[in-house]
Structure 1
Amino acid sequence: MLNITLDQLALFVATLTAAILSPGPGVIAVSQGAFSLGRRSALAYGWGLALGASFWCLFALLGLTALFRIAPWTLIAMKVAGGTYLIHIGLKMWRHAADPLPEGGNPGMGFAGGIALNMSNPKPALFYSAVLLSIFPALLAPMDKGAIYLTALSVELFFYTALALLMALPVLRKRYHAAKFWIDRGAGLAIAALGASLILRH
């Protein structure tokens, strides 16, 4: 039997949805991937992004943020490593903006690539911790934690699936093909900027 209420879960879903809708590296990357590679590749990448994002909720439930408070250097190290990875991804997109579209998909934009991208930013762990503490009781039973994690995973999967399907629509892909160079350059610059911000604002 759960100790948390449906009202608490509904508030959690609403808060998480509002946070997901604010553009981040995952939103930018899955949109660009859907434009360039189509629905199938974008869905695999999006599901990886969703799973990677949900892991931060799981880590928060397991007490990762307590480690950040006890040893602040661990958070700084994770931010620097994650920011460096985002800059690498952004520069890679910038450099290859003029390249023709790869045949058979881009191996960097598969399921594992999606997990890696959303795991590169530890800030969601702090977000999840703050939200969990403000909505749910301080002491949660294992079943409560399981329900919260499955709720977070469901919201993340729904969002990234919907985004991938939307951005892979033929009319949007046709417009992307006409402006591939500038869209890829813009997406790469945005992701690199987010990575630099992650490093500089620790």
Structure 2
Amino acid sequence: MMQITPEQLTLFAATLAVAILSPGPGVIAVSQSAFAMGRQRALPYGWGLAFGASLWCLGALLGLTVVFRILPWTFTVMKFIGGLYLLWVAHKMWRGAPEPLPDPAEAQLGMNFRGGMTLNLSNPKPALFYSAVLLSIFPVTLSLADKGVIYLTAVSLELSFYTALSCLMALPLLRRRYYAAKFWIDRIAASAIGLLGLSLILRH
């Protein structure tokens, strides 16, 4: 039996939408992918990012954050590994900046579904965000049906956002701008992702 109300679900969706819009490594990476390789290559990457992000919601629903609270070192280890992965992605972007445009038929920097999922799973902080939002909006005890509806709402929003972003950033006008300034755009994107990786490692 469903315990959550339409009003609670609407509030959850609105809160999540605001959070998704805040720039993060996924937004930067899928934008750069769409610029460089177009919509056809960027969409699977964006969908991987969306699915990866939604898995943190599923983790929160299944009690992953309880594990983080009981064993704080697990969260620290995950942050460290995730930060190193973001630094590696930044390094590859930085080194690739002077190179010619990639062949759209080839996946670059792991820019495929699996690569997108890995990137968004590299940052465990969304699990804490989802946990805080779920606890503040919904009843403490949720049925399996409630959890299913909440997860489907989250994954739908994530998919909608990354699909729209991939299509928008692949527009011909934006891609032409990217072609004219590829070196600096790639270097800025690499710096932003690198700083996010360092922040993930160093921030307590």
Same fold judged by TM-score > 0.5?
Answer: yes
Q: Which position in structure 1 is the counterpart of 2:120?
A: 118
Aligned length: 202
Q: Which position in structure 2 is the counterpart of 1:167?
A: 169
Instruction: For 1:180 and 1:111, locate their aligned partners in 2 and report how far apart those are by CA, in whole Å.
Output: 23
The CA RMSD measured in Å over matched residues stands at 0.7
Instruction: For 2:75 and 2:154, locate their aligned partners in 1 and report how far apart those are by CA, in whole Å.
Output: 22
TM value normalised by structure 2? 0.98
- The alignment partner of 1:11 has SS state of helix
Query: Residues 33-68 of structure 1, C-alpha deviation per residue, up to 9 Å, x if partnerless?
Result: 000000011111000000000000000000000000
- Residue 80 (1) aligns with residue 45 (2): no
Runs of 4+ in 1 over 6 A off after TM superposition: none
Query: Residues 137-177 of structure 1, C-alpha deviation per residue, up to 9 Å, x if partnerless?
Result: 00000000000000000000000000000000000000000
Instruction: For 2:6 and 2:168, locate their aligned partners in 1 and report how far apart those are by CA, in whole Å.
Output: 30
Instruction: For 2:90 and 2:179, locate their aligned partners in 1 and report how far apart those are by CA, in whole Å.
Output: 19
Report the Cα offset of residue 105 of structure 1. 2.9
Matches within 5 A, 1:98-113: 98-103=98-103, 104-107=105-108, 108-113=110-115
Report the Cα offset of residue 106 of structure 1. 2.1
Which amino acid in the other structure matches residue 33 of structure 1? Answer: S
Matches within 5 A, 1:113-152: 113-152=115-154
Q: Which position in structure 1 is the counterpart of 2:35?
A: 35
Which amino acid in the other structure matches residue 89 of structure 2? Answer: I
Q: Which position in structure 2 is the counterpart of 1:7?
A: 7
Which amino acid in the other structure matches residue 98 of structure 2? Answer: A
Query: Residues 66-114 of structure 1, C-alpha deviation per residue, up to 9 Å, x if partnerless?
Result: 0000000000000000000001000110011011122113241001000
Instruction: For 2:28 and 2:60, locate their aligned partners in 1 and report how far apart those are by CA, in whole Å.
Output: 25
Query: Residues 162-199 of structure 1, C-alpha deviation per residue, up to 9 Å, x if partnerless?
Result: 00000000000000000000000000010010000000
Report the Cα offset of residue 20 of structure 1. 0.6
Where structure 2 has 5 or more consecutive residues not aligned to the other structure, the ranges are: none
Instruction: For 1:42 and 1:7, locate their aligned partners in 2 and report how far apart those are by CA, in whole Å.
Output: 34
Which amino acid in the other structure matches residue 21 of structure 2? Answer: L
Q: Which position in structure 2 is the counterpart of 1:58?
A: 58
Instruction: For 2:102 and 2:14, locate their aligned partners in 1 and report how far apart those are by CA, in whole Å.
Output: 38
Stretch moving more, 24-33 or 107-116: 107-116
- The alignment partner of 2:99 has SS state of coil
Where structure 1 has 5 or more consecutive residues not aligned to the other structure, the ranges are: none
Which amino acid in the other structure matches residue 189 of structure 1? Answer: S
Which amino acid in the other structure matches residue 199 of structure 1? Answer: I
